Amino acid sequence: MIKPVILWTDALLFLLTALVVIFVLYARRKPHIRRPWQRIFQGRIAAASVVILLAFILVGLLDSLHYRLPLEATSAATETHYAIEVLSVLDALTGTLRTREEKSYSAPFATHLYIKENVDLPDGGQARIYPPLEYGGRHLGDRSEGKARDIALRTGLSLLQAVLAGALLTVLLALALARKHGCSSKDMLRQIFSRRTDVPWHIILLTLTLLLAVIFLVLNLASVYHVLGTDKVGKDVLYLSLKSIRTGLLIGTLTTLVMLPFAIFMGIVAGYARGWIDDVVQYIYTTLNSIPSVLLIAAAILMLQVYIANHPELFETTLERSDIRLLFLCIILGITSWTGLCRLLRGESLKLRESEYIQAAVSFGVSHGRIMTRHILPNVMHIVLITVVLDFSGLVLAEAVLSYVGVGVDPTMNSWGNMINGARLEMAREPVVWWSLLSAFLFMFTLVLAANLFSDAVRDAFDPRTVGQRGGK
């Protein structure tokens, strides 16, 4: 039996997912909440970025289901012992990507190592050559000149698979939509292709097909090559980049989850109650805001490092240690970033408390707590949502900077920040090792770009100031 491992961040991530699912189920029944969301999904760019974001989230969630494999049972021991290494479902799904380690650097699609090594020849002498890789391109055997043909064949196959799968998806979607709207599926297909549907399904299908193409390419090529090369200790860079997705998502989402209760509670109470409560809240956030955030984070993380260094017995595995550090980093980032939202909410509830419907509620004798939760909170939720979505990409980018400064996630943890940090030395090598940097760039850029485009759409849909201003286009 495998032993499931639930890390702190896993638990919080699934809590967050559950909250989002509950919200979606709730919002489906409320037309006034549904409307702005529908407007978001009607945008072509937003729809495409949602597809990309969902793909990233899926990878992150799969990577958050952790477990430990049992060790080979020895006859003497009655209880099973578990391997020290914590794996995730993603590791299982990516198959041998994790285990196929080379000796050192190898370029993308390479069949030989990137650096020369002394190799013993069969006749007893020694030669300085690029040794062949243990796994990359092994199926080619000695025919390494057939590589280009092999890659082209596999690429063609993947594209074919992607097109077929995309076509299948289109048909399925048309059938489902036709059933929903009560028209023939042929009609539905025609509508999709002539772009007459409300939701831009043609864009969503196109994005999905592109995504599928990437997935099939990876499946067909990464099983025999190191598509993005290998790093210094021979680990597959594609695998490292995939594992880093979870870290990026966690930083972007958990930070928000941590800060939201503070920001919402303090902001609304300060704005609604005014008086000395307002003064105290303002003092707290001005003080926290005055400290340059990098320095506050650095100070807190340094102290955590001292604490961890002095209490090694608290953590069973290195993963647990780095997990606590990640969680703590999220908390610290949350502490430095809740102030902006709190200030916005305070201002908004200051304004709302003077509005007529609140005065009506007060004169009906509704209690203060109820006014704040039932009357003010729902009317500031759009600010919360916009801030959360806008903050996400900034947090993902901040992770990289913090890791560089040395106060980011644990150095043993897979993260884009750590990859970039390592790539800094690799870029100074001769010849240059560029693929770690490139893959960190590609993954991070895709995620952040999708998040930025999505947050623009969310802001346009929810911000009352921009709604209705978009006629100019």
Positions in the binding site for another protein (CB under 8 A):
283, 286-287, 289-292, 294-296, 298-300, 302-303, 305-307, 309-310, 393, 397, 400-401, 404-407, 420, 423-424, 427, 432, 437, 441, 444-445, 448-449, 452-453, 456, 469, 472-473
Name which of 191 and 439 has its Cβ closer to another protein: 439
Q: Kindly state the smallest distance separating residue 301's Cβ from another protein, in Å.
A: 9
Q: Kindly state the smallest distance separating residue 392's Cβ from another protein, in Å.
A: 12
Q: Kindly state the smallest distance separating residue 446's Cβ from another protein, in Å.
A: 9
Name which of 160 and 303 has its Cβ closer to another protein: 303
Which residue has tokens 């793909």? 55
Q: Kindly state the smallest distance separating residue 136's Cβ from another protein, in Å.
A: 25
Name which of 361 and 386 has its Cβ closer to another protein: 386
Gap between the Cα atoms of 110 and 101, Å rounded = 14
CA–centroid distance for 393 within its chain: 10
Q: Kindly state the smallest distance separating residue 457's Cβ from another protein, in Å.
A: 11
Q: Kindly state the smallest distance separating residue 171's Cβ from another protein, in Å.
A: 32
Name which of 70 and 292 has its Cβ closer to another protein: 292
Name which of 86 and 444 has its Cβ closer to another protein: 444
- List all residues 6 or more positions away from 396 whose beta carbon is below 8 Å from its beta carbon: 248, 251, 252, 444, 447, 448, 451
Q: Kindly state the smallest distance separating residue 278's Cβ from another protein, in Å.
A: 15
| Sign of the torsion angle spanned by Cα atoms 455, 461, 462, 466 | positive
Gap between the Cα atoms of 40 and 461, Å rounded = 6
Q: Kindly state the smallest distance separating residue 434's Cβ from another protein, in Å.
A: 8
Task: Say which amino acid occupies 466.
Answer: T
Q: Kindly state the smallest distance separating residue 44's Cβ from another protein, in Å.
A: 12
Q: Dihedral angle at the C-alpha atoms of 460, 464, 466, 467, nearest 10 degrees? A: 80
Residue 391, CB half-sphere, CA atoms under 13 Å: how many?
25
Cβ proximity of 133 and 102 under 8 Å: yes
Gap between the Cα atoms of 357 and 351, Å rounded = 12
Q: Kindly state the smallest distance separating residue 55's Cβ from another protein, in Å.
A: 17
Q: Is the peptide bond before 131 cis (omega within 30 degrees of 0)?
A: no
Name which of 157 and 296 has its Cβ closer to another protein: 296
Cβ proximity of 399 and 332 under 8 Å: no
Name which of 374 and 424 has its Cβ closer to another protein: 424
Q: Kindly state the smallest distance separating residue 284's Cβ from another protein, in Å.
A: 8
Name which of 113 and 453 has its Cβ closer to another protein: 453
Residue 227, CB half-sphere, CA atoms under 13 Å: how many?
20
Q: Kindly state the smallest distance separating residue 127's Cβ from another protein, in Å.
A: 31
* Residue length of the chain: 473
Name which of 384 and 398 has its Cβ closer to another protein: 398
Name which of 197 and 452 has its Cβ closer to another protein: 452
Tokens matching residue 344: 């916005």
Name which of 67 and 392 has its Cβ closer to another protein: 392
Gap between the Cα atoms of 40 and 22, Å rounded = 19
